[in-house]
């Protein structure tokens, strides 16, 4: 009789598990947006100026992406980062980049206003890249204002960055460092952690990419700021279910990776000044890294930070619920008002202060603190 009980138990357990797993038939979710805010006058963000690429000495140099004139601060040697690089469980290009993107106008976009999009303004081109698409591809090789670029998104670190790619394209290597997407360029197969924007392996090791800012916002906010925007189409050349996010959901936030304290992979360093997935806006220069929690930036409007000899002002763009960073001369007063930012009493739109821009990177705190353990933090 014992054996019969065992068999019956195993059968019941198996059927029970099967029933539980049927719950995998997940439905697409609705969405919710943080509280809205007043809309300052929209203005285009000028593209960052960049110097000429470093003179090439090899075929790889010429074929690879153009070099930035300044390398951002790196807290670790490349060898340490290579040692910390792990497989993400997918092969090279297992997560395929979008190499032939197509775009729709606002009326054809069929996006909910609360959906997350990554927005870019470069010259005359204004584009939005929905998170629901990029979560399945991570990289879009595009052209903006005539310049070949890659718009990149890492779901595990919550980071969106734009890079100039030159004559090559970027792909997803399938590996991660500090949970962050490691890209590869198809000209030299050098490896580029997204947040660091610098090659840590391959013939271009040490080269930094020319960056441009990509804004994390919602479709409704972006559309109101830029009514003439184009939006990435789901006609990506791949068959995917763009309604399902394998990591969880932002709209609404459900129990999943995005809101759990735990990380999937060990970070390079831990720092409990904030929760692991709390959103920060960070900036890095040659001198170091500084960050402010998005919560504090929303509340204050403007937050000052010191970075080496530089003074960095983080500015909240309420209409987009995004952060910008500027290098501000000493002695200048920068204040937040309800609908603008005042610089020595003069009104300016938050994305158009009369100072040199620094790339503002939104990131999950664990990722920023892992890459930049000596970062300052205003929280």
Partner 1 sequence: MRDRLRRAAWTVRAALRRPDGRAAFLIGAGGYPLLYLASIGHLALGGRGRSVLVVDDPVGRAVQQTRPFSFEPVARVVVEPLVVLLSPLDVAVALVLSTLVGANLAVAVAVWRSPAACGVEGSAGLLAGVPALLTGATCCGPAVLFALGVGATGTLLTAFGYATPLTALLLFGGLLLVARSADANAIRTGG
If phi > 0 it is left, if psi is from -120 to 50 it is alpha, else beta; for residue 7 that is: alpha
Cα–Cα distance between 14 and 101 in angstroms, integer? Answer: 44
Residue 10 in contact with partner 1, rule: CB under 8 A: yes
Residue 252 in contact with partner 1, rule: CB under 8 A: no
For residue 44, count CB atoms less than 10 angstroms from its CB and return exposed for 0-12, middle for 13-18, buried for 19 or more.
Answer: middle
Residues in the chain: 379
Residue 134 in contact with partner 1, rule: CB under 8 A: no
Residue 18 or 309 with smaller CB distance to partner 1: 18
Given 206, 256, 306, 308, the residue binding partner 1 (CB under 8 A): 256
Q: At 360, list the tokens.
A: 């503002």
Phi and psi of 30, rounded to 5°? -80, -155
**Half-sphere CA count of 206, side-chain side, radius 13 A:** 3
x/- letters, 203..232, toward partner 1 (CB under 8 A):
------------------------------
- Residue 318 near residue 217 (C-beta atoms within 8 A): no
The stretch near partner 1 (CB under 8 A) out of 63-71, 80-88, 196-204, 364-372 is 80-88
The stretch near partner 1 (CB under 8 A) out of 1-9, 56-64, 285-293, 351-359 is 1-9
Cα–Cα distance between 112 and 119 in angstroms, integer? Answer: 15
Residue list 18-47, contact with partner 1 (CB under 8 A): 18, 21-22, 24-28
Residue 103 or 242 with smaller CB distance to partner 1: 242
CB of 165 to partner 1, least distance (A): 22
**Half-sphere CA count of 218, side-chain side, radius 13 A:** 19
* 146 SS3 class: coil
The stretch near partner 1 (CB under 8 A) out of 216-224, 235-243, 270-278, 363-371 is 235-243
Residue 59 in contact with partner 1, rule: CB under 8 A: no
Residue 64 or 158 with smaller CB distance to partner 1: 158
What secondary structure does DSSP assign to 47-92, as a single string? PPP-PPPPPP-SHHHHHSPPBPSSPPP-SS-HHHHHHT-EE-SS-T
Residue 14 in contact with partner 1, rule: CB under 8 A: yes
Given 39, 83, 266, 344, the residue binding partner 1 (CB under 8 A): 266
The site for partner 1 (CB under 8 A) is made up of: 3-4, 6-8, 10-11, 13-15, 17-18, 21-22, 24-28, 86-91, 93-96, 135-136, 155-156, 176, 179, 181, 237-241, 243-244, 246-248, 255-257, 260, 262-266
């Amino acid at each position: 009789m014992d054996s019969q009980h065992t068999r019956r138990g195993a059968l019941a357990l198996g059927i029970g598990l099967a029933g539980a797993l049927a719950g995998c038939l997940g439905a697409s979710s609705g969405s919710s947006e943080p509280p809205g805010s007043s809309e300052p006058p929209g203005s285009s963000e000028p593209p960052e100026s960049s110097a000429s690429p470093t003179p090439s000495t090899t075929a790889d140099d010429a074929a690879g992406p153009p070099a930035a004139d300044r390398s951002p601060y790196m807290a670790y040697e490349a060898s340490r980062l290579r040692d910390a690089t792990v497989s993400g469980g997918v092969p090279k290009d297992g997560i395929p980049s979008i190499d032939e993107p197509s775009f729709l106008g606002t009326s054809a976009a069929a996006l909910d206003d609360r959906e997350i999009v990554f927005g870019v303004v470069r010259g005359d081109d204004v584009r939005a890249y929905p998170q629901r698409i990029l979560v399945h591809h991570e990289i879009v090789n595009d052209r903006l204002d005539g310049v070949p670029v890659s718009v990149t998104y890492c779901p595990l670190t919550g980071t969106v960055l734009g890079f100039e790619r030159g004559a090559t394209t970027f792909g997803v290597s399938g590996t991660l460092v500090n949970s962050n997407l490691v890209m590869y360029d198809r000209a030299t197969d050098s490896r580029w952690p997204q947040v660091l924007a610098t090659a840590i392996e391959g013939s271009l090791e040490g080269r930094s990419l020319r960056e441009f800012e990509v804004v994390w916002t919602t479709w409704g906010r972006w559309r109101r700021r830029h009514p003439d925007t184009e939006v990435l189409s789901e006609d990506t050349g791949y068959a995917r279910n763009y309604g399902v996010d394998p990591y969880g959901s932002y709209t609404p936030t459900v129990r999943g990776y995005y809101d759990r304290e735990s990380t999937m992979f060990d970070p390079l360093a831990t720092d409990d000044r904030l929760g692991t997935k709390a959103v920060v806006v960070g900036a890095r220069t040659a001198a170091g890294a500084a960050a402010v929690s998005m919560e504090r930036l929303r509340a204050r409007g403007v937050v000052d930070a010191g970075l080496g000899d530089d003074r960095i002002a983080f500015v909240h763009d309420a209409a987009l619920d995004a952060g910008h960073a500027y290098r501000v001369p000493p002695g200048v007063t920068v204040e937040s008002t309800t609908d603008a930012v005042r610089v020595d009493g003069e009104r300016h739109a938050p994305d158009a202060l009369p100072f040199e821009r620094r790339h503002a990177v939104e990131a999950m705190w664990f990722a920023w603190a892992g890459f930049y353990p000596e970062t300052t933090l205003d929280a």
